[in-house]
């Protein structure tokens, strides 16, 4: 009986062990074939550290290879929340050091995560202060930060990047794909305590971004910004723009806007300051637009320089509208009509042309269409076809009313007269280089279309020289250099659609030297006061910009020793 009971007990124990073994084998089978992928992934996360390797964003240079945008190494703060013991104390100290909201930090440090960003790209002083806390659970990772050594210089043109070095505005945005490069990655082993072991499981090196060489010249940009800042403040303007362009190629040598902002603190800038008014805003140009009417009349053979027009002593009725000149004129030659900026004389010239021919030349000069400049946000302006004109449009359009233009379009238009009749595409990027300075892609001058003949351009050029010698633009004249240009003073529209009597856009467009133009300059000032005439407000700024640029380019004699070196030094500051 005892042996029988013993055998039965032994069989039961054996059966239990067999059942347990079967369950273990089944569990192992389940883990091996059904949970393998999940557990392997979990193990990889615990023992392998994946690190993204950030590429170096390409440098942006001016045309003489002076850096305008570079990268510097900075620290970013992260936390491992589970390793932070005295959380409330650390949150309070970090809030004071980083100027961050207490609730924001508390939300992040109390999260159940093994890694979380606290603050990106902080200052060296803040890094030192946080390291002094000697807090386990806080760490730093080196990152790259975009830096603009010239601060405010060409701010709207340059644009800026976001926290992750992605272009958000200006050329930083438009050429982001070339500048940003490609990220790499590395996988490192970690021990059971999650500490990194310097053993790499895999590595793909990042590909640095290409560098961008611009057409702008840092010194010419500085000259334009300096003079714009002067008239912007002196005449209490709402905004202003100065563009300097090579009339033969379309290369933009300087593009300045006011108000502006510090590129190194773009996040705090007012949206209006970040706006590139030179390409994004339209306005009625006023009398600077008369170069289109004059060019069309000469090209079509409708007038000669000495043909006379009666300017009605300053008051001329057209349909239901009375047209006025800024001061009364009797008989004027066509040359004098443009030089004295007579609205009445210009409207009579336009009547000889007719709406369809005038509109043809408006389009040939590039108005009402985008010019294709490599800057984001360019608008086409406004140029209505003749079928939408009213009975008074033939008097308004020729003198720059009922049309909307951009500052860049005006710079391109005056370049047509300067270069002999060609509309060139304005552009800002000269070439793209690799890190060794080898050219990957270059950008060449591009012809949009031929507008007028060389003979017409030469005849109109002489008329515009007269504007600065005996006409409305005498304050733009430069001693020893022949200058061609045109003044403009345009009434702004009120909310009710009527023209304002106290809000104006002042302008001057011109080029120098007139006989062999090197630069074309456009100066625009919105709502200047108490003075608002283009010949008074903008012409002197043109003179100062053109004078200093020609001296810098060594076309004019330098009156002061080391003039060029001083300009370069000032621009660098």
Bond before 257 cis per omega within 30 degrees: no
Identify the pLDDT of residue 377: 94
Residue 196, pLDDT > 70, answer no
pLDDT band at 248 (very low <50, low <70, confident <90, very high): very high
Query: Is the peptide bond preceding residue 259 cis, with omega within 30 degrees of 0?
Result: yes
Token reading at 280: 């994004």
Closest residue by Cα to residue 543 from 247, 276, 288, 230: 230
Per-residue confidence (pLDDT) for residue 566, from 0 to 100: 62
Q: Where are the domains of the chain?
A: 51-214, 218-261+276-435+443-572
Instruction: Report whether pLDDT(477) > 50.
Output: yes
The answer for residues whose C-beta is within 8 angstroms of residue 550's C-beta and 6 or more apart is 478, 481, 512, 513, 518, 519, 556
Q: Output the pLDDT for position 199.
A: 46
Q: Would you tell me which CATH number, out of the four given (2.60.410.10, 3.40.1360.10, 3.90.1310.10, 3.30.930.10), belongs to the domain 51-214? A: 3.90.1310.10
List, for residues 361-416, the tens digit of each pLDDT value. 999 999 999 999 999 999 999 999 999 999 899 999 999 999 999 999 999 999 99
pLDDT at 45 over 60: no
Residue pLDDT, tens place only, 129-168: 888 888 887 888 777 889 999 999 999 999 999 888 899 9
In CATH, the architecture of 218-261+276-435+443-572 is 3-Layer(aba) Sandwich (3.40)
Mean confidence (pLDDT) of the chain:
88
What pLDDT, on a 0 to 100 scale, did the predictor assign at position 512? Answer: 97
- 287 part of the active site: yes
Task: Encode pLDDT of 175-195 as tens digits.
Answer: 999 999 887 766 655 555 555
Give the phi and the psi of residue 5 in degrees, each rounded to 5. Answer: -65, -40
> Which member of 211, 287, 393, 507 is catalytic?
287
Q: Of the ranges 113-127, 193-207, 395-409, 548-562, which is most confident?
A: 395-409
Alpha carbon distances (Å) from 380 to 264, 276, 368, 370: 31, 14, 5, 4
Cα dihedral 529→504→296→483 (10° resolution): 10
Q: Name which of 168, 166, 240 is nearest 209 in CA terms.
A: 166
Location of structure tokens 């009797």: 330
């Amino acid at each position: 009986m005892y042996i029988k009971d013993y055998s039965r007990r032994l069989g039961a124990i054996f059966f239990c062990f067999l059942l347990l073994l079967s369950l273990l084998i089944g569990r192992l089978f389940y883990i091996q074939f059904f949970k393998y992928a999940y557990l392997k992934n979990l193990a990889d996360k615990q023992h392998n550290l994946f690190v993204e390797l950030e590429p170096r964003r390409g440098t942006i240079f001016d045309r003489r290879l002076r850096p305008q945008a570079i990268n510097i190494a900075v620290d970013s703060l992260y936390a491992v929340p589970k390793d932070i013991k005295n959380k409330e104390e650390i949150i309070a100290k970090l809030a004071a050091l980083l100027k961050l909201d207490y609730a924001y930090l508390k939300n992040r440090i109390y999260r159940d995560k093994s890694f979380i960003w606290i603050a990106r790209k902080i200052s060296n002083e803040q890094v030192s202060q946080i390291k002094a806390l000697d807090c386990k659970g806080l760490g730093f990772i080196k990152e790259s930060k975009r830096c603009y050594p010239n601060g405010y210089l060409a701010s709207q043109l340059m644009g800026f990047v976001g926290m992750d070095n992605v272009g958000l505005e200006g050329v930083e945005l438009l050429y982001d794909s070339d500048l940003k490069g490609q990220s790499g990655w590395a996988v490192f082993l970690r021990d059971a305590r999650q500490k990194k072991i310097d053993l790499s499981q895999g590595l793909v090196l990042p590909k640095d971004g290409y560098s961008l060489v611009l057409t702008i010249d840092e010194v010419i940009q500085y000259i334009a910004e300096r003079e714009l800042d002067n008239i912007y403040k002196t005449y209490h303007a709402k905004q202003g723009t100065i563009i300097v362009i090579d009339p033969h190629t379309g290369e933009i040598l300087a593009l300045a806007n006011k108000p502006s902002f510090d590129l190194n603190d773009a996040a705090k800038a007012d949206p209006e300051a970040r706006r590139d008014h030179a390409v994004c805003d339209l306005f009625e140009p006023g009398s600077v637009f008369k170069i289109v009417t004059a060019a069309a009349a000469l090209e079509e053979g409708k007038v000669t320089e000495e043909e006379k027009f009666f300017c009605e002593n300053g008051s001329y009725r057209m349909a239901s509208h009375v047209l006025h000149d800024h001061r009364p004129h009797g008989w004027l030659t066509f040359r004098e009509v443009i030089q004295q900026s007579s609205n009445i004389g210009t409207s009579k010239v336009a009547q000889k042309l007719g709406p369809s021919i005038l509109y043809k030349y408006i389009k040939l000069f590039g108005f009402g269409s985008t010019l294709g400049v490599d800057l984001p946000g360019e608008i086409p302006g406004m140029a209505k076809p003749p079928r939408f004109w009213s009975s008074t449009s033939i008097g308004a359009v020729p003198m720059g009313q009922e049309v909307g233009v951009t500052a860049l379009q005006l710079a391109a238009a005056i370049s047509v007269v300067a270069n002999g009749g060609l509309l060139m595409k304005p552009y800002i990027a000269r070439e793209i280089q690799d890190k060794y300075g080898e050219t990957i892609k270059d950008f060449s001058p591009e012809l949009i279309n031929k507008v007028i003949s060389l003979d017409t351009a030469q005849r109109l050029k002489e008329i515009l020289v007269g504007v600065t010698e005996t006409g409305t633009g005498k304050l733009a004249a430069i001693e020893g250099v022949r200058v061609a240009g045109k003044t403009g003073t345009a009434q702004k529209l009120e909310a009710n659609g009527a023209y304002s009597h106290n809000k104006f856009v002042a302008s001057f467009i011109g080029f120098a030297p007139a006989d062999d133009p090197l630069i074309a300059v456009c100066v625009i000032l919105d709502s200047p006061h108490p003075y608002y005439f283009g010949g008074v407000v903008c012409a002197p700024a043109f003179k100062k910009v053109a004078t200093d640029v020609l001296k810098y380019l060594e076309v004019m004699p330098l009156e002061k020793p080391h003039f060029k070196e001083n300009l370069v030094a000032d621009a660098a500051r």
